Amino acid sequence: MPHRFFYDGSFDADQLLLDGSEAHHLLHVLRMRTGDSVLVFNGRGAEAEGVISKTSRKTVEIQVTTRHAAQASSQVPVILATAVPKGDRFRWLVEKAAELGVTKLVPLLTERSSVDPGDNRLKKLQQTIVSAAKQSGQIQLMELAEVQKWDSFLSEVSQTECRLLIADPAGRGMDLFRSNDHSEAPVVILIGPEGGFTPEELQSALEKGAESVKLSEGILRIETAAILCAGLIRLMEPSGEA
């Protein structure tokens, strides 16, 4: 199968120009050459096939041979709202969430949060999302939202039609995910920081209609709980697709 590359634009033109990190990867890591076949995707559901028609030291021109119409994802939308773990663990969380096809990741600031990633760090993680989509075959890029405070996010999401889940050691077991509810409404997952949500935060979520779920007998790190919960939803959703 040809290598996949991200192109941030439409595929209307017959020639596409890759530059930046995508061109560097094609030219200097994979060492591809004129005449090689490639796949390109725009992160919004559209894909195209093509061949490399011209290269320079920093750019690659691709001649489009076949276009595939934009596709809507068949997966249930999953919004992962999570406290931010320390160090490089957040980059790992973002990468794995993107591979799983999480629709949107919202970094949360809660009462016990110890990390605020900041706008610059979030911008740098965009390339991680692109790389994860390329590797996993996802046709749509995960959205990485701005940091939101707990109260603001909870108030906002409670006004939408969704299934709201909150990780809680005192919650129900895994049978929660085997519900006969085949609704296509988004699933919103709430993951707390080290030390967990405060009793007041947990109570406010339950009052907004959240379902508490126990993910493990042990104590999980933020990123482990987030990916476990998102993966279970993808595994058990009615379509059976992941």
pLDDT by residue (tens digit) across 95-119?
A: 999 999 999 999 999 999 988 898 8
**Mean local confidence (pLDDT), 21-29:** 94
- The reported pLDDT for the residue numbered 219 is 85
pLDDT category at 170 given cuts 50, 70, 90 is: confident
pLDDT category at 242 given cuts 50, 70, 90 is: very low
211: burial class by Cβ within 10 Å (0-12, 13-18, 19+)? middle
* Residue 202, amino acid: L
Which range, of 26-30, 124-128, 213-217, averages the lowest pLDDT? Answer: 213-217
The candidate with the shortest Cα–Cα distance to 166, out of 105, 103, 217, 208, is 208
Those residues whose C-beta lies under 8 Å from the C-beta of residue 218, and which sit 6 or more positions away, are: none
- The reported pLDDT for the residue numbered 241 is 42
- The reported pLDDT for the residue numbered 151 is 95
Work out the mean pLDDT of the chain and round it to a whole number.
89
Instruction: For domain 3-68, give the fold.
Output: Ribosomal Protein L25; Chain P (2.40.240)
Q: Is the pLDDT of residue 180 over 50?
A: no
Q: Is the pLDDT of residue 137 over 50?
A: yes
In angstroms, the CA 206 to CA 56 distance is 57
Longest dimension (CA), the chain: 61
Give the three-state DSSP class for 204.
helix
Q: Is the pLDDT of residue 236 over 90?
A: no
Confirm if 178 and 138 have CB atoms less than 8 A apart: no
Q: Where are the domains of the chain?
A: 3-68, 78-236
- The reported pLDDT for the residue numbered 240 is 42
pTM: 0.85
pLDDT by residue (tens digit) across 45-64?
A: 889 999 999 999 999 999 99
pLDDT category at 176 given cuts 50, 70, 90 is: low
CATH assignment of 78-236? Answer: 3.40.1280.10
